[in-house]
Amino acid sequence: MANRTTHADRIGNPGAVIRRGRDLRVEMVNLIWGLEPAWPQERPFEAVRAEGRTFPTNRCLVPASEFFHTRRGQRYRFTRVDGDWFYLAGIWRPARPRWSSAYATLTIDSNDDVRAYAERQMVVVHRDRRMDWLDALVPETEILRALPTGTFKAELWDDDALAAQPALAL
């Protein structure tokens, strides 16, 4: 498997998230991607619509360098035009009797770069705004919105064509 800075590829797999711990320190932990559904036979919620909601507690950040959308059977990879990595805004829930501690990413209407591939996209947080989201330092409306046109580039993606990277080189 290639080393990537992205969230878990499938629902139910662990992914790294950054949150405030019990001692209020910033910590990185692995949580399951997907919140417990209301009914056991339903699928977990991997994304939560942000519009019209507030998220006063249990905020988290998902480190990422890419996100994906599938359209008409083809998978597209989105990265920042400048090549920089970013965070996805998320929320997390503590473990419950039937469900491990888990997280979901927040979604908004897509910006113009993504709209041709999907109506909605995950909320992307610039690295310099990470604490604004994590600690609620600014109104949510300043974070939970699409980034300007020209932020992302899309490419057709084929995971099978990638050569595995044996180790992460720094």
pLDDT tens, position by position, 2-28: 444 455 567 788 999 999 999 999 999
Work out the burial of residue 60: count CB atoms within 10 Å of its CB; fewer than 13 is exposed, 13-18 middle, 19 or more buried.
buried
Q: What are phi and psi of 140, to 5 degrees?
A: -55, -35
pLDDT digits (tens, 9 = 90+) for 77-124: 999 999 999 999 999 999 988 889 999 999 999 999 999 999 999 999
Q: 14-159: which CATH architecture? A: Alpha-Beta Complex (3.90)
Compute the distance between CA of residue 53 and CA of residue 90 in angstroms, rounded to an integer.
13
Instruction: Return mean pLDDT, the chain.
Output: 88
Domain-by-domain residue ranges, the chain? 14-159
pLDDT digits (tens, 9 = 90+) for 112-127: 999 999 999 999 999 9
Compute the distance between CA of residue 154 and CA of residue 1 in angstroms, rounded to an integer.
22
> What is the reported pTM?
0.85
Alpha carbon of residue 51 to chain centroid: 16
